[in-house]
Structure 1
Amino acid sequence: MQEVNVKPQEVKVQAMPLGPIIRRYALPVVILVLIVLNSIITNNFFATETLWNILLHVSTTALVATGMTLVIATGGIDLSVGAVMALAAVVSTFLLNQNIIITIITTLAICACIGLFNGLIVSYVGVQPIIITLAVMIAGRGVAQILTDGYLVSFNNPAFEAIGKAKVASIPVPVIFMFAAAVLVYIVVRYMTFGRYVEAIGDNEQAAHLAGVKVKRIKIAVYMLSAAFAALAGMIETARLAAADATRIGELIEMDAIAAVVVGGTLMTGGKPKIWGTILGAILMGIITATFNMNNIPYSYSLVIKAAIIVGAIYLQRENK
């Protein structure tokens, strides 16, 4: 009987490209490195109060960035969020003689109308998002300052102040709002048709339109959501200060929000909105700020580090288009 020699077949295992791995894990790794570094150089960094304060500091930025993520995912941008925060501060202060729930809902509704205006102009008039939201950014803060005559409007309303100062089981209420908003938007993006439409518009708006997606309606909705999240952030800041400062509240927060979105991995050209990446991006910026402040290093140095991180994030995204 003739013997048959059978050679074992070689199985080639193809390694996963390094690029996607770096893009996926770079942000958590950088945060982990910063935490380890702070454990060495920063006194009391791991104190419970310090950690909550960091999250409290980034909560409003993360809220604004959550709405911004949806706008950027459609290929747009919203520079008016800081002005919306200022307007929300003024409007909510003027409504404090009403029931607290009515105050919050009315303020959200009024500010959502600003997002509606942005969305209508972008969708039906065809103005570039950066142009119309820049105009609203300038005009909105101007209106807020006119309403207050440029003065700080202080108040004493414990019920309203609670949304910025209160704690639930030692957790600051703004932090609860931040994570609740992130969970809600993640569920919408991940499991609902609306999220798939947002991604489709960002990937290819014309193809989405031909596929039957109501592109204009979706765009209007994301700008309204962005304004609503900015309004909530504005009310939180106002409650924390117990005053409406139309000049300072929300100042330059649009830059911090865009930075959090970019660092979090959502492409500026549109596409899949990465909600938790945005939250981690905001937390990263907060940790950097806390590191410099707690070690008495001039804040200006932290701006350089943040800029370098943003450039690095864009570099990592360049092949992910």
Structure 2
Amino acid sequence: MSTLAWTGALRDRDRLLRLLQEYGVYAALAVLFLVAVGLNSDFLSAGNVRIQLFQVAPTLLVALGMALVIGTEGIDLSVGAVVALAAAVVPLYLGYGLAFALLIALALGAVSGAVGGAMVAFTRVQPIVATLSLMIGVRGLAEIVNGDSAKPVTDTALLSLGSDSLAGIPLMAWITALVALAVGLVVRRTTFGRRLVAIGDNRQASRLAGLPVRRVLLTVYLVSGVLAALAGVMIVGHGAEADPANQGLNMELNAITAVVVGGTPLTGGRVRVLGTVAGALFMQLITAVLTQHNVPNSYTQIVEAAIICCAVYASQERGTR
């Protein structure tokens, strides 16, 4: 093969890989959706669609916060524990009204996120180390607050938040959609979003350019904690019980998966909000299709692991080029 032909082949390969990175998750989501409908004629029933939206909403909320963190070349492993902490705390304050209980849960999420962000921004602890230690501590605190067993929740306002629908779409899904829209606008249309991406692309250069690196880092981890707490409240409302020993488990891994599959590179410097939404829906559809056809959960995890490896490889290829 001549040098010219070899160069052309490399260009074609790069073009194909770029298309896969930009639009692959949407194409995969469309194909998987058609497969799901073909395998199950009731997949498009109103009941099943509502179930899928109920299940994906909390994960997507956490993933949106995770996308901001990863955009700064960070990671937040504490979000699952924050979900559990919010789930443990919100029933304790429902006697004062849902608004007050929600405020307390979100405040604790903000504090947890701020602690992790402060360790990353001010003490320069590696994000994975800072948030791993926070994950362990917050999970333990949630179990201490809740006790050894699951606590039933009977507050009608909270149960309505977790089960009611508007125009046939769950309130949880509406709230998540509004959050996704807000995050997308922040990333694409605000100075904060441009600073976030610049810091993820080159933190040292951003610091030398006078950008408020510490403040941005602290803010993104704080936002991640707040969104995780909101997801915890939704989970309690939908499940009608507080069980921090099980709620939020592996949520951080599910969120990272949605972000990476959606095209946001782990190396930072970019945030794909719409891709994150598509990634969360894609992973939810995979789980739903395999579960509905009685595939053991262990095989589902293997499939998800393979998808993550492919997404990370594609992301690294792009960074290398």
TM-score of Structure 1 vs Structure 2, range by shorter chain: over 0.9
Q: Which residue of 2 aligns with 1:167?
A: 165
Is the CA contact (8 Å cut-off) linking 1:82 and 1:251 kept in structure 2?
yes
Partner deviation per Cα, 1:95-119 (whole Å, 9 max, x = no partner): 1111221221221112201111111
Q: Which has the higher mean CA deviation after the structures are superposed, 95-104 or 16-25? A: 16-25
Q: Which residue of 2 aligns with 1:181?
A: 179
1:1-321 correspondence runs (5 A): 17-321=15-319
Supply the AA of the counterpart residue of 1:138.
I
Partner deviation per Cα, 1:101-156 (whole Å, 9 max, x = no partner): 12212211122011111111111111111111111111111111111222211121
- Tell me the CA shift for residue 251 of structure 1: 0.6
Is the CA contact (8 Å cut-off) linking 1:42 and 1:295 kept in structure 2?
no
Q: Matches of 2:316 and 2:81 in 1, distance apart?
A: 31
Q: Secondary structure at the match of 1:46?
A: coil
Q: Which has the higher mean CA deviation after the structures are superposed, 213-222 or 170-179? A: 170-179
Q: Matches of 1:39 and 1:236 in 2, distance apart?
A: 28
Q: Matches of 1:171 and 1:40 in 2, distance apart?
A: 23
Partner deviation per Cα, 1:61-110 (whole Å, 9 max, x = no partner): 10000000000110110000011011101111111111221221221112
Q: Secondary structure at the match of 2:117?
A: helix
Supply the AA of the counterpart residue of 1:187.
L
Supply the AA of the counterpart residue of 1:313.
A
Partner deviation per Cα, 1:273-297 (whole Å, 9 max, x = no partner): 1111111111001000110111222
Q: Matches of 1:82 and 1:39 in 2, distance apart?
A: 31
Is the CA contact (8 Å cut-off) linking 2:106 and 2:230 kept in structure 1?
yes
Supply the AA of the counterpart residue of 2:90.
S
- Tell me the CA shift for residue 259 of structure 1: 0.5
Q: Secondary structure at the match of 1:196?
A: helix
Q: Secondary structure at the match of 2:295?
A: coil
Is the CA contact (8 Å cut-off) linking 1:82 and 1:137 kept in structure 2?
yes
Supply the AA of the counterpart residue of 1:108.
L
Partner deviation per Cα, 1:29-64 (whole Å, 9 max, x = no partner): 111111221222223112122122212211111000
- Tell me the CA shift for residue 201 of structure 1: 0.4
Supply the AA of the counterpart residue of 1:170.
G
Q: Matches of 1:225 and 1:316 in 2, distance apart?
A: 28
What is the root-mean-square deviation of aligned Cα atoms in Å?
A: 1.4
Q: Which has the higher mean CA deviation after the structures are superposed, 125-134 or 99-108? A: 99-108
Q: Aligned residues: percent identity?
A: 39
Supply the AA of the counterpart residue of 2:174.
I
Unaligned runs of 5+ in 2: 1-10
Q: Secondary structure at the match of 2:204?
A: helix
Unaligned runs of 5+ in 1: 1-13
Q: Secondary structure at the match of 1:150?
A: coil
Larger helix percent: 2
Structure 1: 4+ residue segments shifted above 4 A: none
- Tell me the CA shift for residue 195 of structure 1: 0.4
Q: Matches of 1:144 and 1:317 in 2, distance apart?
A: 35
Q: How many residues align?
A: 308
Supply the AA of the counterpart residue of 1:229.
L
Q: Matches of 2:37 and 2:85 in 1, distance apart?
A: 40
Q: Matches of 1:68 and 1:237 in 2, distance apart?
A: 18
- Tell me the CA shift for residue 299 of structure 1: 2.3
Q: Matches of 1:149 and 1:203 in 2, distance apart?
A: 43
Q: Matches of 2:84 and 2:174 in 1, distance apart?
A: 22
Q: Matches of 2:73 and 2:283 in 1, distance apart?
A: 24
Q: Secondary structure at the match of 2:263?
A: coil
Is the CA contact (8 Å cut-off) linking 1:80 and 1:254 kept in structure 2?
yes
Q: Secondary structure at the match of 1:143?
A: helix
Q: Which residue of 1 aligns with 2:7?
A: none
Partner deviation per Cα, 1:236-285 (whole Å, 9 max, x = no partner): 00111221101011011100000011101111011111111111111001
